[in-house]
Structure 1
Amino acid sequence: MFTPDASETPTPLNPDAGTPAAFTQAVESMHTAQLRDEITLGTIRPPQRLAPFSHAIGLEVERTWDEAETDGDAFGRLILLHDPGAEEAWEGAMRLVAYIQADMDHEVASDPLLPDVAWEWLTEGLAGTGAAHTNLGGTVTATASVRFGEIGGPPRAHQLEMRASWTASDLDLAPHVVAFSRVLANVAGLPPEGVSRLT
């Protein structure tokens, strides 16, 4: 889970170096993404020392009270790394690192094709939003756990985790955030936009 912190601003590891204008522009574009009403976006603390400049946002699915009774948690983190010295390895200076974790029901989680489908959601999301990118790679893991004794929660729990990274080809990162949010919505089992869930 994440705790949004709107006051947090991206800072370089070396404060004397100043923040590049390109990085500032990319960060600002992330916060202009138009997301569906059920998904909230907030600034979170980025991991340190991965790149000279970094910024991170957290996305979380907000559910109604009725949905919260039956649906599990779903959240994601999208981290922007900026390193002018990594252009050759990344094929660019802006690298996005994505992480999603979501609880899933048994029927969906037990599908052996779930990792393939989840990865397709990402590739189709990036293509569908026009998020220009290169060097996409990652993993999708579906896990099951059994609780014993006094540990709270359902006796059997299923989760999906996605870890991915890619290089942005331009400084407008709003399409990347939208694509990432669509993956989160699909993993969380939200209905298509404009469609109400029947109770």
Structure 2
Amino acid sequence: MRGVMFSEQSTIPPSRDGRADDEALPADFSAAVESLYHARLRDELSLGTIRPPQRLAPYSHAVGLEVDRGENPDDPQTDSDGDAFGRLILLHDPQAEEAWDGSMRLVAYIQADMDDEVASDPLLPDVAWQWLTEGLDNLEAGHTNLGGTVTSTSSMRFGEIGGPPRAHQLEMRASWTATGTDLSAHVEAFADVLAHVAGLPPEGVRTLGAH
């Protein structure tokens, strides 16, 4: 898929920003990175390590999530057949307690193609943001200082250009401070938002005739 390129980095990457590779990583950061991979995700979502942005914090790690829609005719239909992907970046700065209200900051990004019916809903940005806030609360993912934006855009193609004549896209950018080092619930809440905006049906729902 075009959205996320998974890398071959190990679960805990080497040190960043010019530090020696054998320099010990902070225990809290190492535990937080490990917990990212303990999240329980639905079958249609895949998670992998991606390259984090540099110089945003002394320590960083990033994961990417993609939607695998599959080609099985018995699979349930989705509300959208477009691309959908997400990135979740963990930043750790032991000196950022005051600015972040903690030392662990999560930065989230989601992009998804939407169909005409969903994109025409003027409340779509509000609903998408509610999916995130309710997901974090329902999964008891302790957090503070949550903020972000949700953008819904439409574009039309003219002339000799490939693709559908009209396209709709939703983007979510959010960040929050985690209050602990177990971030599995944070990944699960983020993954639920991605599933929603990708139009995946509730887990366990099958189409008529599916076995």
Q: Does 1:32 align with 2:41?
A: no
Q: Does 1:82 align with 2:86?
A: no
Unaligned runs of 5+ in 2: none
| Greater CA drift, 144-153 or 79-88 | 144-153
Cα deviation digits, residues 52-73 of structure 1 (max 9, x gap)? 10000000000022669x6000
Residue of structure 2 equivalent to 1:5 = 7
CA contact (8 A) 2:9 2:50 kept: no
Residues 22-171 of structure 1 aligned to structure 2 (within 5 Å) = 22-65=28-71, 71-171=81-181
Give TM-score scaled by structure 2 length: 0.89
Unaligned runs of 5+ in 1: none
Cα deviation digits, residues 68-95 of structure 1 (max 9, x gap)? 9x60000000000001111101000000
For residues 198 and 43 of structure 1, do their structure 2 counterparts lie closer, same or farther at Cα, with a shift above 3 Å needed?
farther
CA contact (8 A) 1:53 1:83 kept: yes
- Structure 2 letter corresponding to 1:92: G
Give TM-score scaled by structure 1 length: 0.94
- Name the % identity: 69
| Structure ranking higher in helix proportion | 1
Shift of 1:149: 2.4
- Structure 1 letter corresponding to 2:100: W
- Structure 1 letter corresponding to 2:68: E
CA contact (8 A) 2:144 2:178 kept: yes
CA contact (8 A) 2:108 2:175 kept: yes
CA contact (8 A) 1:14 1:52 kept: no
In 2: Cα distance, 1:198 partner to 1:150 partner:
40
In 2: Cα distance, 1:198 partner to 1:146 partner:
35
In 1: Cα distance, 2:179 partner to 2:29 partner:
13
Residues 183-194 of structure 1 aligned to structure 2 (within 5 Å) = 183-194=193-204
SS at match of 2:96: helix
Cα RMSD after superposing both structures: 1.6
For residues 198 and 52 of structure 1, do their structure 2 counterparts lie closer, same or farther at Cα, with a shift above 3 Å needed?
farther
CA contact (8 A) 1:12 1:18 kept: no
CA contact (8 A) 1:191 1:197 kept: no
Residue of structure 2 equivalent to 1:15 = 19
